[in-house]
Amino acid sequence: MKFLSDKAVDHLRQSANLPDLSGTRYQLLDRVARGGMGVVYAALDEILGRRVALKILDVSVPEGELARRLNREARVLARLEHPGIVPVHDVGTLSDGRVFYTMKFVEGQRLDKHIETVTSLPERLRLFSRICDAVAFAHAQGVLHRDLKPANVMVGAFGEVLVMDWGLAKILREGSSEAADDDPQATVVQSSQSSDLPPEATEATQITGHGTVLGTPGYMSPEQAAGDIANVNERSDIFSLGALLRFLCFPAASTKSNSSWRQEKALDAICAKATENDPAKRYAKVSDLSADVSRFLDGLPVSACKETIFDKVLRFYRRYTVPILLIAAYLVMRVLLLAFPHR
């Protein structure tokens, strides 16, 4: 009697977990990642001959609410046509009844990985501004993301920034066909319950049953964490963006070459305003937050903090460092020429 090796058993287990794409136009290539809604695979669109990202429910997760949400996520994404939002190509159902949808395959890195290579603060802020653009567009379309965090932002090979994982998106606009799909009674809690999803999924967000939704500590607004769904609105995403900005600008102390950024009072004030516990004290719109970041980048005063005279002088010096130094050099040279006329 022969026994299978552990490796072979693992391989068989993985193969059994792979979705059956027969009857679709897609050929499975590889497993990419797990998200809150299911598993993302790389697949080949056999008709168009292009690589796509195929998101599908995890095998062990029962159908019902989750399938409905995945389907809804696809429809939410489909209405968000923006360069900063990953486009959906197709949505369908597998032979086993599971819902899938395909989207653009983004070759790049998650933001949290990508920024390890970005040591320039202005470059990080420009990345943030592009995230804001995408979120502002979604808000203009009446869609809240509700799960903004570094792991849900991809930076492509050519620097394109894409906001991913709209599985928790909430549609605000009344009269929309999606509005009925949203669950107004859902509460938001950090799920720590065991599931069949692997650890990498639980560290991010998870879907739970009726009455509970996901979230990521540190990025979730207080009202979202408290399950105060009635008060979850654009300002909740602004809280997440503020936390994201803090992550980008004030990384862990262990991160090298960033200690000077901690002295950026204006930037700290922007983060603080965006992540106020009281939603009314936050920025009213994403565009307001983005505008403040742009003003900071341009060396202009930001609305989030009042400046002292010293702050103004320091900002002026930072903004015009080169001309000030050139003129100072000119004056010093003039003084030296006058002081030593015969040399």
Partner 1 sequence: MNKVLLGLLLGAVLGVFDGLTALWTPDPAIRAGITGIVIGSTFKGLVAGLLCGLFARKVRSVPMGVLLGLFLGFLFALLVVLNVHNYYFRIILPGSIVGLIVGYATQRYGDSPANVPVTTR
Give me the residues that bind partner 1 (CB under 8 A), please.
322-323, 326-327, 329-330, 333-334, 337-338, 341
Q: How far is CA 182 from CA 52, 69, 170, 177, 178, in A?
A: 27, 9, 6, 10, 7
Based on the number of CB atoms within 10 Å of its own CB, is 141 exposed (0-12), middle (13-18) or buried (19 or more)? middle
CA dist 35 and 119 (Å) reads 28
Q: Based on CB atoms, which residue is closest to partner 1, 284 or 332? A: 332
Q: In what order do the strands lie in the sheet with 26-34?
A: 26-34, 39-45, 50-56, 99-104, 88-93
Closest to partner 1 by CB, 149 or 315: 315
Closest distance between partner 1 and the C-beta of residue 234, in Å?
A: 33
The least CB distance from residue 327 to partner 1, in Å, is 7
State the nearest-atom distance from the C-beta of 333 to partner 1, in Å: 6
CB of 158 to partner 1, least distance (A): 18
Residue nearer to partner 1 on the CB measure, 253 or 339: 339
Which one, 257 or 321, has the nearer CB to partner 1?
A: 321
Decide whether 284 or 337 has the Cβ nearer to partner 1: 337
Query: H or E stretch including 89?
Result: strand 88-93
- Shortest approach of partner 1 to residue 330 CB, angstroms? 5
- Asked whether 2 and 9 are in contact (CB, 8 A), the reply is no
- What is the CA 119 to chain-centroid distance, rounded? 19
Question: Which tokens hold the place of 334?
Answer: 């003039």
Q: To 10 degrees, what angle do helices 234-249 and 286-297 make? A: 30
Told to judge if 165 belongs to the known catalytic residues of this protein, a careful annotator would answer no
Smallest separation (angstroms) from partner 1 to the CB of 322: 7
Q: Say whether 4 sits in a helix, a strand or coil.
A: coil
Q: Which is nearer to partner 1, 49 or 341 (CB)?
A: 341
Cβ(11)–Cβ(32) below 8 Å = no
> Please, are residues 291 and 238 in contact by the beta-carbon 8 Å criterion?
no
Contact 238, 276 (CB under 8 A): no
Query: Least Å distance between CB 295 and partner 1?
Result: 17
Q: How many CB atoms lie within 10 A of CB 246?
A: 19
DSSP 8-state secondary structure symbol assigned to residue 304: T
- Nearest to 65, CA basis, from 173, 189, 214, 245: 214
Query: Among 58, 133, 147, 237, which one carries the catalytic annotation?
Result: 147
CA distance 203 to 272: 25
Q: Which is nearer to partner 1, 11 or 334 (CB)?
A: 334
CA atoms within 13 A on the CB side of 211: 0
Active centre residues (catalytic):
147
